A = this chain, B = another copy of it.
Amino acid sequence: MRILCLIVVACMVSGCGEERVMRRTMVMSEYSIGASSINGDGSVTFRLAAPEAQRVSVSGDFISAADGTAFGGGEMVRNGDGVWEYTTLPLASELYTYSFNVDGVRICDPTNGHISRNVSTLSSELIIGGGRGDYYRVNDVPHGTVRSCWYHSDSYGCDRRMMVYTPPGYESGGRYPVLYLLHGAGNDEGSWLELGRVEEIMDNMIARGECRPMIVVMPNGNAFKQAADISAAEGTALEWSDRKPLNPMLEVSFAEVVDYVDGTFRTVDGKRGRAIAGLSMGGGQTSIISYSLPDTFDYVGLFSAAVGAVTDEQNDAKIKAQRDNGLKLYWIACGTEDFLYDGNRQYMSYLDSIGFPYVYCESDGGHIWRNWRIYLSEFAPMLFRK
């Protein structure tokens, strides 16, 4: 009954990925990043005009194309025009985030319009194409629709915001399966789009026939928030926590999310048409939601999930019921450097002990968005195939 599959990082990061490299359908100039530039060999020259600054450096989550090692940037050198420069090694195809430090102050690249927010930290972004990074770009393929909408939650007693991706062609009719995608602690309903590149990944994979067209629903998973801080009524977070300290968690109220989505969008009804996945806190929620609503999801994905040994008797009984009820895929992915790695091993030991079938996918790296984008692009192709 058990399916235990170790997929090594070489397959995840290079093997499978290489087969899926987006062909360029038109001659494209490189992704513009302002005064800085992506060079022909995949190296990046960062530039910042700061004639009066004393010291400037660049930091990023770079990976060498030559040997796959990570490096973090370095000191920039001032040229005669007062422009500070730094050129990286040739970089592996990926989406990178970076920032400058000017006399001790961390800043985004002021000439690059591509920025993202991780919790409360803003960073600049760039994409090196020619490989995995092509999944994260806007390419010349049919595009889905992304909407920001609000549903009413009876258990929270308020409206809450969610982001929804519908695939190209949705407007023409038909019913579509749904992937519910949950974020981590500190993130919000916009994080999977902004940092996880869901719109680009889905557009590109659907265009190449690598995954089925599907709806992707990204709710807010924080118990005390209606929406991301920048999209919420001011003071909401504070007020809710003051007034309703026992507010229901997302796990308890998740049936409301499913009901809203089934009532608002043309969905494939029943568990065969539903998947749920989440990262970190959202991975823990995915575990709980999927066994608390055992007839709801045929596909479950735990990405660097906040899980551990299962010792509670009630939870043990629910997970066994989920096992007996059957589902098509229970997929667990974690990086070897993740601080939740041991918790995931304990969780899988428990699943092994009760004969719960799952697939395990181990990558390198830690608790980072690069891994979660990779996990999504590995998970999505397995959904709604049968």
**Which A residues contact B (CB, under 8 angstroms)?**
26-32, 34, 48-55, 102-108, 110-111, 113-115, 117, 120-122, 129, 137-140, 142-143, 145-150, 158-159, 161, 168, 171, 227, 229-236, 238-239, 264
Contacts and interface: CB of A to CB of B under 8 A. Distances in A.
A233 B171 contact: no
Contact of A48 (B26, B105, B227): B105
Contact of A150 (B48, B104, B139, B143): B143
A113 B103 contact: no
Nearest to A152: B142
A122 B115 contact: yes
A138 to B, nearest CB: 5
Contact of A147 (B103, B146, B229): B146
A29 B122 contact: no
Given A104-B53, A107-B107, A149-B145, A113 B233 contact: no
Counting from the closest, the 4 A-B pairs by CB-CB distance are: A29-B235, A52-B104, A147-B147, A28-B235
Given A26-B233, A30-B234, A107-B108, 10 more contacts: A28-B236, A52-B54, A52-B104, A110-B122, A113-B122, A113-B229, A114-B230, A115-B122, A140-B236, A145-B147
Contacts of A142: 150, 159
A29 B150 contact: no
A50 B105 contact: yes
A261 to B, nearest CB: 12
Main secondary structure of the interface of A (DSSP, over half): loop
Contact of A148 (B145, B231, B235): B145
Nearest to A53: B103
B110 A231 contact: no
A120 B114 contact: no
A125 B30 CA distance: 31
A239 B105 contact: no
Contacts of A54: 52, 54, 103
16 contacts: A26-B233, A28-B236, A29-B235, A31-B234, A32-B229, A34-B120, A50-B103, A50-B104, A102-B102, A108-B122, A111-B120, A113-B117, A113-B230, A129-B234, A138-B227, A143-B149
A264 B234 CA distance: 34
B104 A105 contact: no
A52 B103 contact: yes
